[in-house]
Amino acid sequence: MADTLTGSAPDAAAPVPEFPMARAAGCPFDPPPALQARQDEGRLVKVRLWDGSTPWLVTRYEDQRALLLDPRVSADITSPGYPLQAPNNGKNNISFILMDDPEHARLRRMVTAPFAVKKVEALRPGVQRIVDDLIDDMLAAGGPLDLVEAFALPVPSLVICQLLGVPYADHYFFQENSKTLIKRDAAMEDRTAAHGRLIGYLDDLMGRKMTEPGDDLLSGLVARVEAGELTRQDAAQMGVLLLLAGHETTANMIALGTLALLENPDQLALLRDSDDPRLVASAVEELLRYLNIVHGGRRRAALEDIEIAGEVIRAGEGMIMPNDIANRDPDAFPDPDRLDITRDARRHVAFGFGVHQCLGQPLARMELQVVYSTLYRRIPTLRLAAEVDSLPFKHDGSVYGVYSLPVTW
Amino acid sequence: MRVELDEPKCVASGQCVMAAPEVFDQRDEDGIAFVLDEKPPADLLDDVREAVAICPAAAIRLVDR
Ligand code: HEM
Ligand code: SF4
C-alpha cells in the first residue's frame, strides 16, 4: 500500500483536490477542466488519490519531461510513495514497464529489435492489406455498424498477433481479459484472475513454441529462455505486456481519432484531400497530442530529494504526470486546444518520455498513418450514426476512448 | 557541428531515425541507434536539432567543432 503523504501538503487548510478528475460533458477530447485548471495554479501541486495519499501533480510540459528523464525518479510500483492507480496485491505486475534500470533496460533491449523504424516500415504493405480487407468487409456488410468492433480493434490486434506469433483466433479471449486488466474500477480479484489467465495463456503458447518455433517475437523470447537469459515467468509477463499495449492503445486512437476528425470536418477534409504522406504523418502526431488516450498520467516515485520548480520533491514522495495537460501546455504548443493537423506536434509526450517511452511507437505510428490515409478516402461519406453525447466514453479505463462508435455512410 | 550519441543511454525509441533518417539509423540486432553521418551538412542540422529535442533519453548532442 502506498505511503500516505499528507504530512507534506503545502497548506493543510486548503482542500487537496481528488485525482483523477472528471471530463466535462460535451467535451470528450479535452482534459478534465479541474485538471487543466491546476496548470494555472502552479508547476507542482498536490492531489489526493483513492487511498488518501497526496502525491505531486506535475502540471507543465517541461517539468514532466525533466522528471521523466531523471534517474532519481522511479517507475517501480513497489518504490515507497509510488502513486497507485488501484489497490495492488503485487500479483498483477506486467514486466518492465513497472521496473527501473538496469533490469528494465536489460529486458526492454530483448524486444526492441522488431520495433526499429525500418523493420516496422517493412510491415507497411501487410498492414495496408489488413486495412483494405477490413474496409472491404465493412462496405460489403453495409452501415450502420460499430467501427470499434469492425475496424478499430481488429487492425492493431491482427498486426500485433502476427508480430508476436499469437493466433488471432484467440482474440476474444485476450481482448476480454485485457479489458478487465486496464479497467480502473475492476475489483482487484477480477484483475488478478484476468492477469493469471493471460500469463497462463502466454506461458502455454510459448511452451508450444519450444517445440515448434516460428519466425516471430515470442519464439525469439523462447530462445532466450532456453539460453538461460530469461525466466519463463519473465517471458510470459513480457508477452502479456506486448499483447496488451499493442492493441488497446492503437484501437482507441483509431476510433477516437475518427470521432475527432468527424467533429472537425475542415481537418478531415484537409486530410482526405491530400496525398502528401508528410501531412498524414503530421495528422497522426497532432491527434496523439490532442487526444492523449493513455490519460491516467505517468506515475513515478522519487528515490532521492529532487529540486524542481522552486520545490523539493522528497525521497519517498509520489508524482503524477498527466500527458493530457502537458500536451495542452500553451508554453509548449501555441493555441493548444485547437486540433490543427498542419502543426508540428512531434514533441508531444503522448508516448511518454524518458527510458519508458513507448516501445511500440514506430508500429503505432505506421498503423495510424495507414488507417488515417485510407479509411476516409475509401469511405468519403463516413459519418456518425449516433449523437456524440450518447457515445459510451471510456472514463473508467487507464486507456481513454469509446467502447463503441456507430457509423454509417 | 558534430553529432554525438551516448549509446548506453539509448532506449531504441526510433525518434532520431524518424526526425533525421540521413543522420541516424538503428542496429539490426537490438534497435539501438548509431550515427550515419557524424558531420551532417548544414541543411540537415534542423532535423538533427529536432532529434536532439525529441530523443526521450537525452542521448544525442550536437557539439561545436
Ligand atoms: C497509439 C498507440 C500507443 C500509445 C498512445 C502508447 C502509449 C504509451 C505510453 C504513454 C507509454 C509510457 C508508459 C510510462 O512511461 O509509464 C508506453 C509504454 C509502452 N508501450 Fe505504448 N503506446 C501505444 C502503442 C503501443 C504499441 C503498438 C505497442 C506494441 C507492443 C506498445 C508497447 C509499449 C511498451 C512495451 C511500453 C513499455 C515501455 C517501457 O517501459 O520501457 N505501445 N506506451
Ligand atoms: S531518439 Fe534517442 S533513444 Fe531513441 S533511438 Fe534515437 S538515440 Fe535512441
Q: How far is CA A201 from CA A103, A177, A244, in A?
A: 24, 11, 13
Q: Which three cell numbers stand for residue A19?
A: 485525482
Atom of ligand 1 nearest to the CA of A98: 40
The predicted pLDDT at position A188 comes to 84
Q: What is the ipTM of this complex?
A: 0.96
Phi/psi zone of residue A294: left (φ > 0), alpha (ψ -120 to 50 degrees), beta? beta
Q: Do A358 and B12 touch (CB under 8 A)?
A: no
Structural domains of chain B in order of their starting residue, each with its CATH number: 2-63 (3.30.70.20)
The predicted pLDDT at position A326 comes to 97
> Which of the residues in chain A have pLDDT under 50?
1-9
Is 1.10.10.10 the CATH number for A2-408? Answer: no
What is the residue extent of each domain of chain A? 2-408
* Residue with cell string 489526493: A48
B62 has a pLDDT exceeding 90: yes
Spatial neighbors of A390 by CB under 8 A, at least 6 apart, are none
Share of chain A above pLDDT 90, in %: 85
Q: How many CA atoms lie within 13 A of B17 on its CB side?
A: 21
Residue of B15, B29, B53 lying closest to A113 (CB–CB): B29
B50 has a pLDDT exceeding 60: yes
The predicted pLDDT at position A12 comes to 52
* Distance (Å, whole) CA A141 – CA A152: 16
The predicted pLDDT at position A275 comes to 87
Render B3-40 in DSSP notation, one character per residue: EEE-GGG-----HHHHH-TTTEEE-TTT--EEES-SS-
- Ligand 2 centroid from CA A359, angstroms: 11
Nearest CA in chain A to B20: A117
The predicted pLDDT at position A101 comes to 95
The predicted pLDDT at position A2 comes to 43
Report the Cα A153 to chain-centroid distance in Å: 14
CB A128 within 8 A of CB A366: no
